[in-house]
A and B are shown apart, each in its own frame.
Chain A
């Protein structure tokens, strides 16, 4: 039974979505989704700002941007930037610099907790989640001129 490339790709990507097993897995999937989102956003942004040279096309584009779907997309963009950046930093620290690895291994086989899914690695994960949500709220307030920055 031959499957097309698209069917296979969709089937493989759908394999990411299981019921929540742990928060690290949720972060993994969010990291990929936000990564795709940023990769699609950046070229579109460059194309659309290029249109600002033409006043008529730019006016039409501004009308398009006032739709609620685009507004929701903007808020998700703020979340994407902060979450993808902070989680990327976490992964660098955890995976490549290995600064949170336990110094000694336990002698017992019957552990009360799974070492890689507890402190200090879990704390860093919580910090990433909380910081990115706070920064998304602040960024949204700044975007809609409720909050202003004074330098």
Chain B
């Protein structure tokens, strides 16, 4: 179905570089939408002209602009920073803004993110994720609280101490890992890869003194021992934050921690 459109034909060799060839493709977009009034899902189909550089989010925004303004999508930054536009694209959890549309084949099938209750169309309720995130105290805990808030000098760290948690701190809390996790699918109380990885990120910080409090929260079958290393969280993470590795370190931390 792909065809080439030459924008302009210029014969001068110096200007040939400026000729832009845009390859577009007519793609079928099927969307599974949730209707909060009836509590049921329905399917909508659209046909969209997709260019080489379009992301799935661009395609969705074009559908809203040109074809169906009732479609609800949550997005903010369009560049993989905010983590709002996570959805199931062709069956796999991904960020819509980080997925190239034309490489998905002839058609795109979009569903709301798995393992979260839907609100409307492609939006899901992520309250449970943020509640769990808050429960592991994802902030710097110091024994001397007064000193922490009225600090006389900064906390120093060696480069190795920063490296210990650095890749886990790139997490954008988009919920893609939770949608990919099979344990989170069958156990809704499971804290989930993102929360456990953040628990490790703060516990592994050399400036932090609250590891014991966090380890007591994650030391349960719904916490770190609910994970059986399916690794789908790391495989689908849009920021390569590797939550599976963080959980492995966290488990070693729990098992070897001396009171």
A residues engaging B (CB < 8 A)?
A: 1, 12-13, 15-16, 18-19, 21-22, 24-25, 27-29, 31, 91, 94-96, 98, 101-102, 104-107, 109, 111, 114-117
26 A-B residue pairs with CB within 8 Å? A12-B186, A13-B186, A15-B185, A18-B93, A18-B180, A19-B90, A19-B92, A21-B92, A21-B235, A25-B231, A25-B235, A28-B182, A28-B228, A95-B229, A95-B248, A98-B251, A101-B248, A104-B160, A104-B163, A105-B167, A106-B167, A107-B166, A111-B240, A114-B242, A116-B234, A116-B242
Measured between beta carbons, the chain B residues less than 8 angstroms from A28 are 182, 228-231
Residue of B159, B180, B248 contacting most chain A CB atoms (<10 Å)? B248
Chain B interface size range: 35 or more
Task: Please report which residues of chain B, range 213-259, place their CB below 8 angstroms from some CB of chain A when the two chains form the complex.
Answer: 227-232, 234-237, 240, 242, 244-245, 248-249, 251-252, 255
Measured between beta carbons, the chain A residues less than 8 angstroms from B227 are 95
Tell me whether B203 is interfacial, beta carbon within 8 Å: no
Given the interface contacts A22-B231, A105-B167, does A16 sit within 8 Å of B248 by beta carbon?
A: no
Given the interface contacts A24-B231, A91-B229, does A15 sit within 8 Å of B115 by beta carbon?
A: yes
Task: Please report which residues of chain B, range 86-141, place their CB below 8 angstroms from some CB of chain A when the two chains form the complex.
Answer: 90-93, 114-115
Beyond A101-B252, A105-B163, 17 additional contacts (C-beta under 8 Å) are A12-B188, A15-B114, A15-B185, A18-B93, A21-B236, A22-B232, A24-B229, A28-B182, A95-B228, A95-B229, A96-B251, A96-B255, A98-B251, A105-B167, A111-B240, A117-B234, A117-B235
